[in-house]
Structure 1
Amino acid sequence: MAAGDAPTSAIPADELVRLTDDIIGALKTVYDPEIPADIYELGLIYKIDIDDERNIDVEMTLTAPGCPVAGEMPIWVENAVGSVDGVGQVKVAIVFDPPWTPERMSEEAQVAVGWF
């Protein structure tokens, strides 16, 4: 691949867009039990990778390292993303670098938590 070339995928572009949209929609069904907003709008999802076999790798964080659902939330995310039609295996990794801050929240999440 020449410098500056975009990486290519074996998945057709329209299918990749559909998968991405459906994965984001699935992530929006997972809520932090302590905050009335979904994890996507809270900015807890750092990365979503889709490989050529439609396996999904998600990197996410928590609002705090001591979050009481730290052991459960990755399973919720894995189940939500795994329910999307056409995805293969789903792996979820919790990362704390960079640390989550409230500035990562979307305007929708800020309204939900009363910051406006």
Structure 2
Amino acid sequence: MDDVNMAGREEAGAAETPATTSAIPQEELDRLTDDIIAALKTVYDPEIPVDIYELGLIYKVDISDDRDVVVDMTLTAPGCPVAGTMPVMVADAIRSVEGIGDVHVNMTFDPPWDPSRMSDEARVALNMF
């Protein structure tokens, strides 16, 4: 599987280079990565007016050679009221990307989310400078 580590981005929207060699041509892998990021940016935390990607809730996205996707993500707090629905929202958003196969979303709280994971764009939107 190719590992696109969204949490390790230098700036919002800049995914890390895949860690392993893929059977998917690089151009297609780049398109899938960009399209997945765009899809993730359509999902919002209902209590915070910032998308989950910019909030830093996406820890990792793996794209297999079969174009199946596995996402590791978190929430701003373990008791978040959307804990049951957020993984479904994320999976549905990613499934909208052309060429994607199965999608599985893993919820994790290790490491716990904190505001340092937010992009500069999210900080501006939340007036946190």
Which of the five TM-score ranges fits, normalised by the shorter chain? over 0.9
Give the total of aligned pairs.
111
- Percent of residue pairs bearing the same amino acid type: 69
Q: In structure 1, which of residues 79, 86, 103 is the aligned counterpart of residue 116 of structure 2?
A: 103
Q: In 2, Cα distance between the equivalents of 1:62 and 1:7?
A: 27
**Structure 1 gaps, min length 5:** 1-5
* TM-score, with length taken from structure 1: 0.94
Q: In 2, Cα distance between the equivalents of 1:68 and 1:104?
A: 20
Counterpart residue type for residue 17 of structure 1? D
Q: In 2, Cα distance between the equivalents of 1:113 and 1:8?
A: 38
Secondary structure of 2:39's counterpart equals helix
Q: In 1, Cα distance between the equivalents of 2:113 and 2:20?
A: 29
Q: In 1, Cα distance between the equivalents of 2:23 and 2:100?
A: 14
Q: In structure 2, which of residues 69, 72, 82 is the aligned counterpart of residue 69 of structure 1?
A: 82
**Superposition misfits of 4+ residues, deviation over 2 angstroms:** none
Deviations 1:5-59 (A, max 9, x none): x621110000000000000000000000011100000000000000000000000
Which residue matches 1:3?
Answer: none
**Which of structures 1 and 2 has the bigger CA Rg?**
1
Q: In structure 2, which of residues 20, 45, 54 is the aligned counterpart of residue 32 of structure 1?
A: 45
1:1-116 aligned within 5 A: 7-116=20-129
Secondary structure of 1:41's counterpart equals helix
**Structure 2 gaps, min length 5:** 1-18
* TM-score, with length taken from structure 2: 0.84
